């Protein structure tokens, strides 16, 4: 009986296994992006930078990267601004219909993306709009908004509304209060929201695939390259860069989110 592991130890083994499997596919791409072989297979044959080097002169890829940057920054800024409105209303006001209103804003989180994509496509084309980066931004804004709201709601909950009241009582205008009290208190949450939504936009494929027209974002560009087996190593190196960028951005977002939480602990 002594040899049987305790349930707690079994659980620990399970957790380690689970996390390892979770990360395995994510870390596999970078491994093969350095492998000196045109197809990803075992055993590994040798180390090379050439798949990364060939990205350097790739104008189409750089165009897609530029598009992704434009879309990501726009979606992040707009969704954070709208997110501040929503989070403020949710945390600072009591009003009839708040539940349904916030549920509607959060709905894109649970809807299949293909449904959002085709309905936007039909409406935008019906309005006579050309598909462009703008239409991608409109779509990304919709799916980024729930994440902004989540991050910012905890930001608003993290500081005492009486600070805003005090500022107004001391003679600041509404705008002055916003600029000198609310926004500085919210700053870590705002940065966190910007980083998270930028990452989501950078990563998003389905909406961009349906709404991007002739200007691909990076995931749409990668999708196009998957048709050519010979381009796979380049896709792996580009994908590895994207994953690394996402990890860095998300870690930064998490650090800022924690900073916001720590502010909350300072509350009296």
Which residues from 98-117 bind another protein, rule CB under 8 A?
A: 98, 100-102, 104-105, 107-116
Is residue 216 within 8 Å of residue 234, measured between CB atoms?
Answer: no
183 touches another protein by CB under 8 A: no
Q: How many residues form the binding site for another protein (CB under 8 A)?
A: 86
**In whole angstroms, how far apart are CA 120 and each of 24, 69, 114, 127, 142?**
35, 22, 10, 11, 10
Question: Does 130 engage in binding with another protein (CB under 8 A)?
Answer: no
200: which residues sit within 8 A by CB, 6+ positions away? 140, 143, 144, 147
Site for another protein in 211-240 (CB under 8 A): 219, 222-223, 226, 235-236, 239
Tell me which residue of 233, 221, 225, 246 sits closest to 53, measured CA to CA. Answer: 233
Mapped onto helix, strand or coil, the DSSP state of residue 205 is: coil
CA–CA separation, 82 and 74 (whole Å): 12
Q: Does 38 help bind another protein (rule: CB under 8 A)?
A: no
Q: Does 151 bind another protein (CB under 8 A)?
A: no
- Answer yes or no whether residue 13 interacts with another protein by CB under 8 A: no
Is residue 141 at the binding interface for another protein, with CB under 8 A as the rule? Answer: yes
Should residue 65 be labelled a site residue for another protein when binding is judged by CB under 8 A?
no
The yes or no reply on residue 8 touching another protein (CB under 8 A) is: yes
Of 2 and 227, CB closest to another protein: 227
Q: Nearest distance from residue 237's CB to another protein, in Å?
A: 11
52 binds another protein (CB under 8 A): no
Taking CA atoms, 24 is separated from 13, 31, 215, 243, in Å, by 16, 10, 32, 13
């Amino acid at each position: 009986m002594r040899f049987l592991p305790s349930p707690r130890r079994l659980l620990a083994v399970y957790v380690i296994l689970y996390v390892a499997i979770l990360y395995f596919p994510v870390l596999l791409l970078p491994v093969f992006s350095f492998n000196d072989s045109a197809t990803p297979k075992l055993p590994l044959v040798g180390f090379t930078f050439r798949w990364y080097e060939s990205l350097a002169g790739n104008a189409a890829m750089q165009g897609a990267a530029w598009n992704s940057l434009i879309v990501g920054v726009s979606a992040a800024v707009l969704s954070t601004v709208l997110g501040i409105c929503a989070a403020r209303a949710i945390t600072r006001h009591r009003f009839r219909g708040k539940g349904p209103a916030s549920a509607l804003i959060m709905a894109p989180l649970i809807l299949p993306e293909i449904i959002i994509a085709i309905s936007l496509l039909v409406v935008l084309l019906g309005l006579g709009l050309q598909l462009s980066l703008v239409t991608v931004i409109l779509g990304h804004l919709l799916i980024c908004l729930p994440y902004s709201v989540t991050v910012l709601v905890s930001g608003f909950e993290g500081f005492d509304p009486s600070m805003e009241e005090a500022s107004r009582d001391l003679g600041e205008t509404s705008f002055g209060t916003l600029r000198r009290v609310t926004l500085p208190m919210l700053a870590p949450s705002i940065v966190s929201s910007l980083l998270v939504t930028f990452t989501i936009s950078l990563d998003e494929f389905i909406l961009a695939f349906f709404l991007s027209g002739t200007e691909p974002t990076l995931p749409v560009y990668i999708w196009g390259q998957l048709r050519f087996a010979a381009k796979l190593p380049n896709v792996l190196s580009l994908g590895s860069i994207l994953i690394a960028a996402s990890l860095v951005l998300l870690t930064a977002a998490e650090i800022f989110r924690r900073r916001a939480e720590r502010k909350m602990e300072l509350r009296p």
